[in-house]
Amino acid sequence: MRSAYLITDSRYWLQAGEQLDQNWVLVEAGGPSTNMKDWTEWVIDRAKDSKIGIDARLISFQTATALNNALKPKNSKLHYPPQNLVDLVWREKPSRSREPIYVQPNEFTGTGAGEKLTRLRAWIKEQRPAMPSYSRSEPKPSQMQVATLIANLSSIAWLLNLRGDDIPFNPVFHAYLFVGLESATLFIEESKLTEEVKGYLQSIGITWRDYNELWTFLRRKEWGEGNVIISPQTSYAICLMMTSFRYTVLPSFVEEMKAVKNDKEIHGLRNAYLRDGAAYVRWLAWLEQKIQQGYDITEYEAAWRLTEYRRKNKYYMGLAYENISATGTNAALPHYVPHKATAKMIERETPYLNDSGGQYRDGTCDTTRTVHFGRPSQDQCEAYTRVLQGHIAIDSAVFPEGTSGAKLDVLARKALWQDGLNYMHGTGHGFGSFLNVHEGPQSFSSDTVLVPGHVITNEPGFYLAGKWGMRIESALAVRRVKTKGQFNGDVWLGFERLTAVPIQTKMVREVMLSKEERQWLKDHNRRCLEQLEPFLREDKRAMRYLRREAERGIGIAGAGPGGLTIDWD
């Protein structure tokens, strides 16, 4: 095999096709032409009497185990070189960040790190020993579960109520955390620890060692007798160092705890989305005015301006991810990011999509709105209306306990499917409380059961390759709801909408909406006015925009005599 392949899912097919040169072959994972869901199936299909080199640090236990088992019948296996071959030729590889870490106060977390560690240790004690289920003998000390090793950066940050600045847009830091029943060790570069943080770590019973000492710690099995619990997503390099007789693989309990937000975290997210929504509306009002005045605004400039509005907000810590600011053909790329030198001017003939959010000490935001600055075509209006109907269906869903996000996904797609339309990305994902904008295990693609306290985005879309794209995204929190029948008692759940940004009605075809959908749209925009007015009273331009969106009709007026057109504006 002498070719270079990029194997990617549908989010990046169009973008990869534009950006790859002649040295690369694009493989569309999950596409009709390949009939393969991901890169592992592609490798398995081509392997025969092969050694397949891979950096063990960059593949999880779950993936490595499944891949090795599938390769065995083909007389093939994974091989783990002592050095990453890309690193050997990457001459300008940036050094590891040494930014200091800092404490996330209880006023934002709602739960102290000590209490979280106590819950984690209780869970470790509850896990059955590493012995056959049929065995009736007493477990040996070597078979008992005595600790857990956490490699997931957001889980470490959440568990210890610490934050950092090592990964762009994600307030996490490079570290490993070993939690035993009586003690815990954080493996981290000491230069990142201020005296305040050292004192804090001591107060919650955490010692620290150099980041690279983890490998010596594992090789010497310094924790003594007993098994260490790891998650299926743990780096396979860690598993190779420990050997299978010293670890047990279980779903991450920390991930499970982190996903269910407490009352303080939900309160913080509500406030963060209000401030972020106010910045978004200020920006929309500015952008619309500039375009109406005849100015040409690039995708890059629009994104930069929105960031400047967010930067003025209380508790602002940065962006949650790079601004997706896209017009015309670029909007058909779900994860397109504009660059100053190549950004397009925002078009008047096609929808403009902006997917962005701020990181705040009290919450992580993720919002998408699609707007039109001209007169939308019929096919744009019909597609947008179908996307909106899917968005409303998820937002309005009521479901019993035990329902997973995957079981609700069809609600977002039903209206699109009626017209033979679809989108190839997920309908929504969990997100953090001043942590990563993508967080699990819950999503609308997951079989994880939704419970009160879960937060999740609602983001159906449609993308017409080479022409335009659209998406509407709001953040939701799972909550209990009262129903008319209350069959089986208080077991019914629904969603609370956190996002407070109006949905432009210009592209909506009112005739396609039901009475309930029309009311939902009007109620949402009026609710945005009520919620955001306290933040925007001093901004006349933003208030005009907000009031107009709350009061305007649905759709655009048809052409009158002589082709005269009148918009609600």
Instruction: Return the pLDDT at 543.
Output: 98
Q: From 89, 118, 133, give the residue that closes a domain.
A: 89
CATH number at residue 37: 3.40.350.10
Residue from 376, 387, 400 nearest 507 by CA: 376
Domain count, the chain: 3
The helix/strand/coil state of 463 is strand
Q: Interior CA angle at 344 toward 339 and 349, to 5°?
A: 150
Among residues 111, 112, 64, 97, which one has the least CA distance to residue 170? Answer: 97
Residue 33 has pLDDT above 90, yes or no: no
CA distance 35 to 135: 44
State pLDDT tens for residues 140-173.
Answer: 888 899 999 999 999 999 999 999 999 999 999 9
- Secondary structure string (H, E, C) spanning 264-294: HHHHHHHHHHHHHHHHHHHHHHHHHHHHHCC
Last residue of a domain, one of 38, 58, 89: 89
Angle, to 10 degrees, between the axis of helix 515-536 and the axis of helix 263-292?
Answer: 90
| Structural domain boundaries, residue 121 | 102-259
Q: What is the pLDDT of residue 140?
A: 87
Q: How far apart are CA 516 and CA 524, in angstroms?
A: 12
pLDDT over 70 for what percent of the chain? Answer: 98
| Element at 158 (helix H, strand E) | helix 153-160
Indicate the SS3 state at residue 482: coil
234 and 352 housed in the same domain: no
What gap in Å lies between CA 472 and CA 371, rounded to an integer? 10
Half-sphere exposure of 401 (CA within 13 A, CB side): 11
| CA–CA gap between residue 450 and residue 440 (Å, rounded) | 11
Strands 206-209, 184-187: pairing is parallel
Arithmetic mean of pLDDT, 87-98: 90
In a domain, 73, yes or no: yes
DSSP 470: E
- Bridge pairing between strands 367-371 and 352-356: antiparallel
Bridge partners of 103, per DSSP, are 162
Same domain, 60 and 149: no
Q: Kindly report the backbone phi and psi dihedral angles of residue 467, in degrees, each rounded to the nearest multiple of 5, phi listed first.
A: -130, -65
Q: Which residues contact 369 (CB under 8 A, 6 or more apart)?
A: 280, 284, 353, 354, 472, 473, 501, 502, 503, 504
What is the SS3 assignment for 313?
coil
Position 3 scores a pLDDT of: 85
The answer, yes or no, to whether the previous bond of 534 is cis (omega within 30 of 0) is: no
Same domain as 329, residue 474: yes
- Whether residue 566 is contained in a domain is answered as no
> How much is the pTM?
0.92
Which of 55, 89, 123 is the last residue in one of the domains?
Answer: 89
At 226-277, the pLDDT tens digits run: 999 999 999 999 999 987 778 999 999 999 999 999 999 999 999 999 999 9
